[in-house]
Amino acid sequence: MVAGVYLHVPFCAKRCHYCDFNTYAGLDDQIPRYVAALRRDLAAVAAAGPAAVAPPGAERSPEWPTFSSVFVGGGTPTYLPAEDLAGIVRLVGEVLPMADGAEVTVEANPETVDAAYFSALVDAGVNRVSMGAQSFAPHVLADLGRWHERDRPLQAVADARAAGLANVSLDLIYGAPSETDEDWAATLDTVLRVGTDHLSAYALTVEPNTEYAARIRQGSALAPDDDVQAARMTVTDEWLSAAGMVRYELSNWARPGFECRHNLTYWRSGDWLGIGAGAHGHWQGRRWWSLRAPARYADAAMAGRSTTSGFELVTAEQQRTERLLLGLRMAEGVARGDVEPLDESAVQQLASGGLLEAGDRLRLTPAGWALANDVTVRLLG
């Protein structure tokens, strides 16, 4: 059994225009209490054991399995003082059994880190860093509401390497209306020259309740264009494949062997503990989520109360739908037996239309990647 641990840090220096993650700017005074609360909650969840998160009727082992990945995400985990973040990572290994060679990732914003910061994380057991670069075109960064200098992520990658991190990932966002084909080509060229081990490239999405959505409503920003985004996705795959990176998920490329194990656990519908404000967890078909507001989460944890806000038992039908949705986004696809019954006439039509490989496993073809959502909807009928 493969299981992961997710920890959420809901603070950022400033809110990017496109982001609707559970994160807050201007709550710096809450950080020390939140760190204490996260540590308490982590220790309490670990001490309660798997019976506290498993669904009724599941085999209730008294012992945790070994965990093969830890992912500290946000928000901006590296907005925390280095000793606080390092202390949280250390605590995971003290209270939960970790597999040998477990993947331990921290998300970082480039302008919050330097070699000394990374060294403190490496000393605590961090072996992977995932950083948001988003673009290497200054006007696109400005539109996205990113405030770091164009080349700051390159310095951060060099600092990570200097600290001994052998697994470095960058996030990119393509398809902002001000981005030209040349801007995107220059961005891809830059990341390939810096030589990261893993890349996530996402189409810019307009989320309600963001600065970006407000600007579109006011007429001061344009919405992204679907056709431009589809073309950028194709170009991205061409460039990254030619450089020897493997597209193992719709928006993720890795040098062979550097696929993100933690995210694969999500996409393979595995089990993970979710700890921190607004974090979601999943254990053997039971899903739960924590109080979203950092202060409420901290109040509950510090008072020794449960930080869970709600839970659900995932029905067999929901499980099947999720396995298909997530499985089709991966290059490995999904075992047909795990997602049946399917609309067989849709399977045949999609296969003969060149969008789906339909053997024992269902997989999108290269042409199918561009239409992943449509294919999934048609398979679900």
Which residues are near ligand SAM by CB under 6 A? Answer: 18-19, 21, 73-74, 76, 107, 109, 131-132, 134, 171, 173, 202, 204-205, 207
Is residue 356 within 8 Å of 343, Cβ to Cβ? Answer: no
Query: Smaller CB distance to ligand SF4: residue 132 or 274?
Result: 132
Q: Does 176 bind ligand SF4 (CB under 6 A)?
A: no
CB atoms within 10 A of CB 70: 27
What is the distance, to the nearest Å, from the Cα of residue 141 to the centroid of all Cα atoms in its chain? Answer: 21
Q: Is 272 helix (H, G, I), strand (E, B) or coil?
A: strand
Binding segment for ligand SF4 (CB under 6 A), chosen from 19-27, 29-37, 180-188, 329-337, is 19-27
Q: Does 148 bind ligand SF4 (CB under 6 A)?
A: no
User: From the list ligand SF4, ligand SAM, none, which binds 15 (C-beta under 5 to 8 Å, kind-based)?
Assistant: ligand SF4
Query: Smaller CB distance to ligand SF4: residue 171 or 237?
Result: 171
User: Angle, to 10 degrees, between the axis of helix 181-194 and the axis of helix 152-162?
Assistant: 20
Q: Is 335 helix (H, G, I), strand (E, B) or coil?
A: strand
Query: Smaller CB distance to ligand SF4: residue 12 or 275?
Result: 12
C-alpha pair distances (Å), 115 with each of 13, 59, 111, 124: 20, 45, 12, 14
Binding segment for ligand SF4 (CB under 6 A), chosen from 18-26, 88-96, 176-184, 248-256, is 18-26
> Least CB distance from residue 72 to ligand SF4, whole Å?
12
> Least CB distance from residue 284 to ligand SAM, whole Å?
27
What is the distance, to the nearest Å, from the Cα of residue 172 to the centroid of all Cα atoms in its chain? Answer: 13
User: Angle, to 10 degrees, between the axis of helix 372-380 and the axis of helix 344-352?
Assistant: 150
Q: Does 76 bind ligand SF4 (CB under 6 A)?
A: yes
Q: Does 285 bind ligand SF4 (CB under 6 A)?
A: no
User: From the list ligand SF4, ligand SAM, none, which binds 355 (C-beta under 5 to 8 Å, kind-based)?
Assistant: none
Query: Smaller CB distance to ligand SAM: residue 69 or 134?
Result: 134
Query: Smaller CB distance to ligand SF4: residue 73 or 368?
Result: 73
Query: Smaller CB distance to ligand SAM: residue 204 or 364?
Result: 204
> Least CB distance from residue 359 to ligand SAM, whole Å?
33
Query: Smaller CB distance to ligand SAM: residue 124 or 173?
Result: 173
Contact residue for ligand SF4 among 3, 5, 7, 12 (CB under 6 A): 12
Is residue 18 within 8 Å of 212, Cβ to Cβ? Answer: yes
Contact residue for ligand SF4 among 4, 50, 75, 333 (CB under 6 A): 75
Query: CB-based contacts of 327: which residues, under 8 Å, 6+ apart?
Result: 267, 268, 269, 333, 334, 335, 338, 339, 362
Q: Which of residues 195-214 bind ligand SF4 (CB under 6 A)?
A: none
Contact residue for ligand SF4 among 5, 7, 16, 172 (CB under 6 A): 16
> Least CB distance from residue 146 to ligand SAM, whole Å?
8
Contact residue for ligand SF4 among 5, 23, 250, 334 (CB under 6 A): 23
Is residue 67 within 8 Å of 4, Cβ to Cβ? Answer: yes
**Amino acid identity for residue 101 in this structure:** G
Cα 52 to Cα 120: distance, rounded to the nearest angstrom: 33
**Helix ranges restricted to H, the chain:** 31-48, 82-95, 115-123, 138-144, 152-162, 181-194, 211-218, 226-242, 261-267, 294-302, 316-327, 336-339, 344-352, 366-369, 372-380
Which H or E element spans position 257?
none
> Least CB distance from residue 145 to ligand SF4, whole Å?
8
> Least CB distance from residue 338 to ligand SAM, whole Å?
28
Is residue 277 within 8 Å of 22, Cβ to Cβ? Answer: yes
Contact residue for ligand SF4 among 78, 105, 109, 200 (CB under 6 A): 109
Cα 349 to Cα 28: distance, rounded to the nearest angstrom: 54
Q: Does 74 bind ligand SF4 (CB under 6 A)?
A: yes
Q: Does 21 bind ligand SF4 (CB under 6 A)?
A: yes
**Residues that bind ligand SF4 in the complex, under the rule CB under 6 A:** 12, 15-16, 19, 21, 23, 74-76, 109, 132
